Amino acid sequence: MKRRPSFSRSVFFTTIFFLSLPLFVLVLYSFNESKSGSWTGFSVRWYVKLFTGSPQLWHAFGNSAIVALSSALVATVIGTLGAVAVNWYKFRLRKYLRTITFLPMILPEIIIGVSLLIFFAGIGLRLSLFTVFVAHVSFNLPFVFLLVLARLEEFDISIIEAARDLGASETQTLLRVILPISMPGIVSGFLTAVTLSLEDFVITFFVTGPGATTLPLYVYSAIRFGVSPVINALSVVMILGTVVLTWSTRNFLKYIAAK
């Protein structure tokens, strides 16, 4: 359906322009020689400073990586087990389980952050990287749970029954049938969890302790209290990182789906 120059087309391209403008400017100005908004010449000095002269930043990055990987791993294990429980067994608390896995996705982030802060203080747990880890597992868990469950539900359950009828033990059925079936859900759950964890600001903001600054928190304070072009360079690296990560995740999932 092609029509005369349309209103929709102009809105579309204006929107694309509006969406990419700030990212484009970040990339461009990360190569700017000067610190200010005016262009004074091409330079990679901010990249050099990013990789060689920013120990605090890399410490924060290290914290982020530790939290993202460990919380995604734990959330993936617990979430997958839970999804299998809901899909495989019948029990009274199924409805409750579905509700509580749904809740963290609709609660405003700040409320999760505040309630966890109060809870940690209440049980006398000192704020540290560990509390950040616990918080991240809590908000990642529902995503893994729902992704794995969705995968299991779209699959014909009779294949499991067939395995059982043909004499597979419960453990065999689990490892040889259910696990491979849910693998795409598990992988996308894990990757979603890593991404969410790497990007989280608000919840981490409330539950972090001294020395446990994550990368988004570091970037926030750098932006808030003075501008350093090192952050521009970092942003570009992060943009590239997320684009590559998301792109490969999507292709990986397509590849699995096609198999």
Partner 1 sequence: MTTSKKKTIKWGFFIFFIPVFLWLSLLIILPQLELLRLSFMSTGKPGFTFKNYLAFFREPIYWLTFVRTAMYSILVTFIVMAIALPVSFYITKIARVKASGFLMVLLLVPFWVSELIRVYGWMILLRESGVINQVLVNLGLFKQPVEMLYNDATMIMGLVYTSMLFMVIPIIGVMESLDDSLIEAAYDLGAKKITIWRTIIIPYCMSGIISGAIIVFMLVLGSYLTPNLMGGKNSLWFTEQIYNQIIIYFNWNQGAAFGFLLLILSSLIIWVFLKISGQDLKKVIK
- Residue 127, phi then psi, degrees to nearest 5: -70, 130
Name residues whose C-beta falls within 8 Å of residue 145's C-beta, 6 or more positions apart in sequence: 79, 80, 82, 83, 101, 189
Site membership for partner 1, residue 46 (CB under 8 A): no
Q: What mask, x for binding partner 1 by CB under 8 A, covers residues 214 to 233?
A: --x--xx--xx--x---xx-
Q: Which is nearer to partner 1, 83 or 187 (CB)?
A: 83
| Least distance to partner 1, CB of residue 54, Å | 16
Q: What mask, x for binding partner 1 by CB under 8 A, covers residues 188 to 217?
A: ----------xx-xx--xx---------x-
Considering only 41, 55, 122, 226, the residue that binds partner 1 (CB under 8 A) is 122
CA distance 115 to 144: 22
Site membership for partner 1, residue 78 (CB under 8 A): yes
Q: How many CB atoms lie within 10 A of CB 254?
A: 10
CB 71 within 8 A of CB 140: yes
Site membership for partner 1, residue 175 (CB under 8 A): no
Considering only 64, 76, 79, 181, the residue that binds partner 1 (CB under 8 A) is 79
Q: Which is nearer to partner 1, 116 or 187 (CB)?
A: 116
Per DSSP, the residues of 135-201 read: HHHHHHHHHHHHHHHHHHHTS-THHHHHHHHTT--HHHIIIIIIHHHHHHHHHHHHHHHHHHHHH--
Tokens of 201: 């600001």
Q: What mask, x for binding partner 1 by CB under 8 A, covers residues 137 to 166?
A: xx--xx--x-------x---x---x-----
Site membership for partner 1, residue 85 (CB under 8 A): yes
